[in-house]
Amino acid sequence: MKMRKRKFSLLTKVLFYYLLFTLVSFVISAIILQREANEHMHNILEKRFAHREHRIEHILEHEKNLDKFRHSSYANIKRVASVPPRFEPTYTDTVMVNEYTQRENVYRKKTTYMTVDGRHYKVVMTKEADELYRFKDDVYHIVLPVFLLLAMALLVANYVFSGYLLEPFRRILKQMASYKIGRAASLKHIKTSTQEFDRLKQLYERMQQRIESDYFQLKEYTENMSHELQTPLSIIQNKTEALISHNNLTSEQATQIKAIYEETQQLSRLGRALNLLTQIENQEFQNIQTVTTAPVIEDHLQKIHEMVEMKELTVEKELDPEHALTIDPGLLDILLRNLFKNALRYATRGSTIRIETGRGRMVFSNPGAQPNFESEQIFDRFSRGRGQKTLGLGLAIAKKICQVSGLDISYAYEEGRHVFRIEEKGPDSDL
Amino acid sequence: MLVEDNAELVDDVTAFFREEGYVMETAFTLQEAREKVGVYSYDLVILDLGLPDGDGLELLEDMQRDQPQVAVLILTARDALDVKVQGLEQGADDYITKPFHKAELNARVHSILRRKVAGGRQKLTFNEIALDLNEKKVTVYDQELSLTRKEYDLLLFLIYNKDRLLTKESIAEHLWGDHIDQADNFDFIYNHIKNLRRKIGQAGGHNYIRSMYGMGYKFVTE
């Protein structure tokens, strides 16, 4: 079993990727902003520390008295023996309580060494950095809500605009879904200012034209072929008949002529069957009426009783006198003929053909060998039973008739019987 | 007159009907047919519908207006029901679709001419066999045979086409029409032939029906 992937609308997808992209760019810009803020803050503080260092240096040069700095928040200076080699100033941020406001603030502490007149000092300076920290936090405080707001706005826009923007697209799709071959429809009435949809419209129209023209050419070809074949076939048939009429044929000659004759007949039947299929496809049978099936079936049974007897078959019928179909009577005739033909051909000698009508369905069944193909293939053109010399078009014709007449034909092999069911289609089973 | 554009078919059919003792004229185009119909008077026009210069139905229309007494048999490669119906509605007497058996065409021509031209010649006799075409009854030496409808039709078909080979296919098509392609084989025709022979024989009639190479039957007159 293959998992079916969920499908999303184009706009939702676009929105999703857009939001993802926006989120990433927001995060990146937040990071950059924060760095900038850090550096800026550092620079400001560094300037102030430098100023202080300058003053401390000045004082140390002149006063040499470190008491002045004792207990001062200004700087803490200690005389040391030496400066650690390759020392770089260190910075630490700590939270301390402000002496005057009694509020917790963030302070930056700078530790460095100084050398004044050959004496070494370790200097620790602290400076309030609260304001600067607040600025840094503000970056996040601004970026996040803006992103959320944008996302919300996009969601709403998606909801509102998807209807409006995709309307022409939906209409084009609808038109495509309802397309029937031989009935090209223009998309002119679908107005769109969207480039892609306009292109789609044009392409679809062009494709439709191409399909139509191919279809009509093929149709014309089939029609002409089957039609034009008939006259030469008439001649061949007549000539062979004339040949056979000679009394002085050897039996070998007779057999050969007979073979030519039979093949000609087969060809002619093929031409007619193909022609019939095309005609049904073209809906040339439009004399649609309500036909009660029972008398028609009885009539058919009457006409084929010799063939039934030949195969020692019995016909079991259960005909509902009320059962009727809405169909062209000519087509019903052809349909029944083909179903009977099939039943006669494939029924085992001496078995029973069953016909049932009623409750909106018509069922033909006959016993026979298990088919050697998928049950749906039975309606394909040129699919025929094992070793049968037939056209293999009968059931294709039957199916086509059902299609144009709003009927459903199905085949099943049940309990050793070939069963064909013909039912009226429900009103909503068109798709 | 035969109106048909295929020369080979025209030759075939013309030769066939001349042999049968008819006077045959031919026309290859609608135009030619129109001219001939305007000048001569025919008993029957065999009319192909697909002519190079137009639809045979046009001629049918004209003839129905000007010469409704002329019988028309439509010959068509179009198998469509509506063409047949249209032709018959427009006054054609019968139709036959290509490819046809000449025997079938012959039988149809016979029956149209009998109905329309001979003013309903009621009897058809061949030696000791007599057919009453109205009553559809057969007598042999004045003794009535009890034939089924199929046997009667078969006998009439054979006599219309006497001395010609009737293939099983053509007999089957004549008797069963479109239903014939439902048959696997035409062996059941043999039963009808056998019964017919037996019934004629019982009344003292001669056995005229010969089987030919297993392909069909011939009503032999000599």
The radius of gyration of chain A from alpha carbons, rounded to an integer in Å, stands at: 47
CA distance B77 to chain A (A): 6
ipTM: 0.71
Q: What percent of chain A has pLDDT over 90?
A: 0
Q: What angle do CA B41, B46, B50 make, to 5 degrees?
A: 125
Q: How far is B7 from chain A (nearest CA, A)?
A: 10
Domain positions in chain B: 2-117, 123-219
Question: Which SS3 state, helix, strand or coil, does residue A140 take?
Answer: helix
pLDDT per position as a tens digit, A275-301: 788 778 877 777 788 888 888 999 888
CATH T-level fold of B2-117: Rossmann fold (3.40.50)
Q: Which residues of A252-263 are buried (b: 16+ CB within 10 A; e: fewer)?
A: eebeebbeebee
Instruction: Kindly list the residues from chain B whose CB atom is less than 8 angstroms away from the CB atom of residue A269.
Output: 181
C-alpha torsion angle, residues A305, A309, A312, A316 (rounded to 10): 20
Q: In what order do the strands lie in the sheet with B2-3?
A: B26-27, B2-3, B44-48, B71-76, B94-97
Look over chain B and give the mean of its residue pLDDT values, rounded to a whole number.
Answer: 82
Candidate from B77, B98, B101 with C-beta closest to A241: B101
Least reliable range by pLDDT among A147-151, A217-221, A414-418: A217-221
Give strand pairing partners of A78: A122
- Percentage of chain B beyond pLDDT 70 is 91
| pLDDT tens column, A29-59 | 888 888 888 888 888 888 888 888 888 888 8
Tell me which of A56-70, A186-200, A238-252, A303-317 is least confident: A56-70
Question: For residue B124, with 0-12 CB atoms within 10 Å meaning exposed, 13-18 middle and 19 or more buried, which class applies?
Answer: middle
On whether any CB of chain B is under 8 Å from the CB of A280, the answer is no
Query: Angle of helix A195-245 relative to helix A251-281, nearest 10 degrees?
Result: 150
What CATH code would you report for B123-219? Answer: 1.10.10.10
A227–B214 CB contact, under 8 Å: no
Chain A CB contacts of B183 under 8 Å are: 307, 310, 344
| Per-residue pLDDT at A395 | 85
Query: What's the confidence (pLDDT) of residue A180?
Result: 75
Mean pLDDT score, B108-132: 79
Q: For residues A128 and A98, is the Cβ–Cβ distance under 8 A?
A: yes
Q: Which of A132-136, A270-274, A329-333, A341-345 shows the lowest per-residue confidence on average (mean pLDDT)?
A: A132-136
Worst-scoring range by mean pLDDT, A306-310, A314-318, A399-403, B115-119?
B115-119
Interface check for A306 against chain B (CB to CB < 8 A): the answer is yes
What residues are paired with B130 via a beta bridge?
A: B125, B139
DSSP state of A64: -
Instruction: Domains for chain A: give ranges and CATH numbers.
Output: 10-161 (3.30.450), 196-281 (1.10.287), 289-424 (3.30.565.10)
Contact residues on chain A for B169, CB-CB shorter than 8 A: 261, 265
First to last CA, chain B: 30
What are the chain B neighbours of A243 within 8 Å (beta carbons)?
none
**Minimum-distance CB partner of B99 among A230, A258, A276:** A230
**Which residue in the set A244, A265, A340 is minimally distant from B182, CB to CB?**
A340
Task: Say what the pLDDT of residue A312 is.
Answer: 85
Max Cα–Cα distance, chain B, nearest Å: 56
**One fold for both B2-117 and B123-219?**
no
Rounded CA gap, B185 and A269, in Å?
A: 15
**Mean pLDDT on A102-116:** 83
For residue B119, pLDDT over 70 is answered with no
| Residues in B touching A304 (Cβ below 8 Å) | 176, 179, 182
Query: Nearest to residue A314, comparing CAs of A289, A335, A344?
Result: A344
Cα end-to-end distance, chain A, whole Å: 25
- Nearest Cα residue to A356 out of A320, A411, A324, A318: A318
Q: Are B204 and B128 in contact (CB under 8 A)?
A: yes
pLDDT at site A430: 41
List CB contacts (< 8 A) between B215 and chain A: 244, 254, 257-258, 261
Q: Which of A227, A237, A275 to mutate to test the interface with B (most CBs of B within 10 A)?
A: A237
pLDDT of residue A68: 64
Taking only the tens place, the pLDDT of each residue in B95-105 is 888 778 888 88
pLDDT per residue as tens digits for the range A206-246 = 888 888 888 888 877 877 776 677 778 888 888 887 787 77
- So what's the pLDDT on residue A431? 38
Burial of A307 (0-12, 13-18, 19+ CB in 10 A): buried
- What is the structure's pLDDT at A386? 55
Instruction: State the sign of the Cα–Cα–Cα–Cα dihedral B77, B81, B85, B88.
Output: positive
What pLDDT sits at residue A388? 57
Cβ of B165 within 8 Å of Cβ of A245? The answer is yes
CA distance B31 to B47: 13
- Kindly report the nearest CA distance between residue B211 and chain A, in angstroms: 11
pLDDT at A1 exceeding the cut of 60: no
